[in-house]
Amino acid sequence: MIFFWSVLISGLSLFAGSGLALGAALGLTGLLLLHFVAGGITFVAVDAVWNVLNSFTLSAIPLFIILGEIMLRSEISKKIYLALSPLFQNISGGLLHTNIAVCTLFGAVSGSSLSTAAAVGSVAYPEMTERGYDRQMVVGSLAGGGTLGLLIPPSLSLLIYGALTETSIGRLFLAGILPGIILASMFMIYIYLRCRQNPLLAPRIESQLKITLIIKNILAIWPFLIVVIAIMGSISFGIATPTEAAGVGVIATIILGKFWGSLTLKKLVEAIYFGTLLYASIMFVVIGATILAQAVSLLGIPQIILETVRAADLGPLAVLFAVILVYLVLGCFFDGLSLMIMTLPILVPLMVGLGYDPIWLGVIITIMIEIGQVTPPVGLNLSVLVSVTKEKVTLGEVAMATMPYWLILLVGIMLLTAIPQIALFLPSKLM
Amino acid sequence: MGAQTRHSTLCLLSRRTEVFVTPMFYFMAVLATIASVMIIILIGGSVTMRYLTYTPFRFTEELVGLLMTSAFFLALPLVTLHSKHVRVLILISSLPDKIKPWVAGLASLFGVVFCAWFILLCIPWLEFAYDRQIKTEVGRLIMYPWMSILPLSMLLTIIAFIIRCVSDSLKVAE
């Protein structure tokens, strides 16, 4: 065991710390473990990589990434943003609420929090800074709201969780809906209270807005809602698998972008091209983590940890607390997906063995990953927003502005632990 | 002086290699894009066939998997050349500027080791598939042409890592 942990920790620290591509760092550490600790069975690595890449379920990853890119380039996100802007105009916080609402809606078609933060951020940031909103408050709401893209289905993390743990992806997707909406509401309550306390953070427009105009604006985004229903409805009602739903979603988004947005052939080609490159960079992490996970699994580490925890006679809540702590620490250094792939082979048998529901666990892990996405220095959402602001707001400032949302996500975990039915209600009723 | 000459030659060689391989990497990335388009068409077509004519394509799942694998490995060299990977930069960003390129060069060397090791593992695996003419279960597609993309892509990724390594060392010299 000591040899295993030495190779694992020193390998990861050296390779990942040097700035090597994370996928190669994880994969190289996995190969070292297979070679030196597992008796030279490195040949299993190629098969493991081949099997992961040939998984039909995981084929949804590039499709959801491409879908997000098409949405971004066809300016659909801009249209939705402008349609929802008047809705919160007279409420304390104004467009900051719109950020959360649009992130929630955008999350319902995009599987990644990065695409959500980038798509909404690129529209909202220039508009809001021009209107005199506090820059830090704006980026905080965008970083926090962006995390919802990972929880509200379709979600890349729930997809990978389902594929790796052989848990129903349809049920996982349904389980993410209510917690996502509750977290969005909590974000909005925070914005309301904060802006009521300090009105300078969000200048209010004192104009009487006609309710008919608000309704008209909301109704105007019906084509977008059709895509949301097409994706989620087909998965929930068993009409299509998540991969098929993603494929159909891409086609629906292309049609939507053409007739409702500003999609041209050039923009479509660009979206698929850059989406494919983004997929390659994400998938490199997945294959590296797969090799490492294979080594960890073959060495029987999950069983050893499970037995150690059982022998320590810790209660399920104490173990959950320890797991959250580990995720918070590791979330500072690793990106969410690689963290999940590395830890799932150990975590899922451990937690399910302690009596936790695997669907509920998928939602909890996704929220932990969301927290990692907004935890410096690796927090990818933070980096995206720094570039959205053209570096007018530093990474540290974005991180500080995101801190309240970080805490709200933790409160969300406590809420889900106290009332697991928040996540389990919809899957039990609909599937 | 000798070391300086060797370094200049290495840089020149690296730049020439970069000029030579970059169009190839772009071409591969375009092929990866075409693979993504084919995935979308295949899935869309399969769902349509299933609900309209009740005759879904039998080979959809297998072909989508193979296309997804191809898309990843075809795009990997360009992603590496442009350093677009997910990376942990906490340590390297806190180092003094003079040391940074050395550490980045070392990271590229680790990348070369990983890819080379992976190629060595791929060769017997590919030979096995070729010798037995292994085919997919449903569609009976011969697998070795698809599998050969793995070592080929890793070889080109090694070249991309080396180019990155040399360009990082160039920063040291500057």
Residue B129 CA to residue B109 CA, distance in Å, equals 30
SS3 content of chain A, % helix, strand, coil (to 5): 80, 0, 20
Residue B87 backbone phi and psi in degrees, to 5: -135, 155
Instruction: List all residues 6 or more positions away from A159 whose beta carbon is below 8 Å from its beta carbon.
Output: A57, A58, A60, A61, A64, A111, A169, A172, A242
Q: What does the pLDDT read at residue A62?
A: 87
B141 touches chain A (CB under 8 A): no
Interface of A with B in 4-23 (CB under 8 A): 14-23
Bridge partners of B135? B142
Q: Which of A159, A281, A340 is the best substitution to test chain B (most B C-beta atoms within 10 A)?
A: A281
Q: Can you tell me whether residue A261 is helix, strand or coil?
A: coil
Which residues of A fall within a CB distance of 8 Å from B118?
27, 31, 45-46
Using alpha carbons, select from B3, B9, B13, B4 the residue that is nearest to residue B162: B13
- Model confidence pLDDT, tens digit, residues B21-45: 999 999 999 999 999 999 999 998 9
Rounded to whole angstroms, how far apart are CA atoms A356 and A389? 41
Quick: pLDDT tens for A333-360: 666 777 787 788 778 888 888 889 999 9
Point out the residue among B40, B72, B79 whose CB comes nearest to the CB of A251.
Answer: B40
Residue B3 has pLDDT above 70, yes or no: no
A277 and B CB contact within 8 Å: yes
B76–A62 C-beta distance less than 8 A: no
Average pLDDT over residues B160-171: 82
pLDDT tens-digit series, residues A72-121: 888 887 888 888 888 887 888 888 998 898 888 877 776 667 677 777 88
The per-residue pLDDT for range A198-227, each reduced to its tens digit, is 988 888 766 666 778 778 877 888 888 888
Q: Specify the pLDDT at position A190.
A: 95
Which of B72, B147, B171 is best to mutate for the A interface (most A CBs within 10 A)?
Answer: B72
* Contact criterion met (CB < 8 Å) for A246 and B33: no
Q: Would you call A382 helix, strand, or coil by DSSP?
A: helix
With a cut of 0.90, is the ipTM above it? yes
CB contact under 8 A, B87 and A21: yes
Q: Is the pLDDT of residue B49 over 90?
A: no
Cβ-based contacts of A28 with chain B (< 8 Å): 110, 113-114, 117
Closest residue by Cα to residue B163 from B59, B14, B11:
B14
- Count how many pairs of residues, chain A against chain B, have C-beta atoms within 8 Å: 179
Are residues A34 and A45 in contact, defined by beta-carbon separation less than 8 angstroms?
Answer: yes
Give the pLDDT confidence score for residue A378 in this predicted structure. 63
Q: Which residue has the higher pLDDT, A343 or A20?
A: A20
Residue among A59, A237, A247 nearest B46 (CA): A247
pLDDT digits (tens, 9 = 90+) for A112-148: 676 777 778 877 888 888 888 888 899 899 888 888 8
Would you state the structure tokens that stand for residue B134, as one six-digit string? 């292994």
Shortest Cα distance, chain A CAs vs residue B2, angstroms: 29
At residue A17 the predicted structure's pLDDT band, cuts being 50, 70 and 90, is confident
User: Three-class SS of residue B135?
Assistant: strand
Q: How confident is the model at residue B173 (pLDDT cuts 50, 70, 90)?
A: low
CB-based contact A374:A141 (threshold 8 Å): no
pLDDT band at A5 (very low <50, low <70, confident <90, very high): confident
Most B CBs within 10 A among A35, A41, A54, A335, hence the mutation to make, goes to A54
pLDDT of residue A225: 81
Q: What is the mean pLDDT of residues A34-39?
A: 93
Residue A232, pLDDT score: 78
CB contact under 8 A, A62 and B36: yes
Given this model, what pLDDT does residue A159 score? Answer: 85
Q: Best of B61, B68, B84, B153 to disrupt the A interface by mutation (most A CBs within 10 Å)?
A: B68
pLDDT of A195 reads 92
| B130: closest CA of chain A, how far (Å) | 15
In this prediction, residue A60 carries a pLDDT of 84
pLDDT tens, residue by residue, A142-201: 888 888 888 888 788 888 888 888 888 889 989 999 999 999 999 999 999 999 999 888
What number of CA atoms fall less than 13 Å from residue A239's CA on the CB side? 14
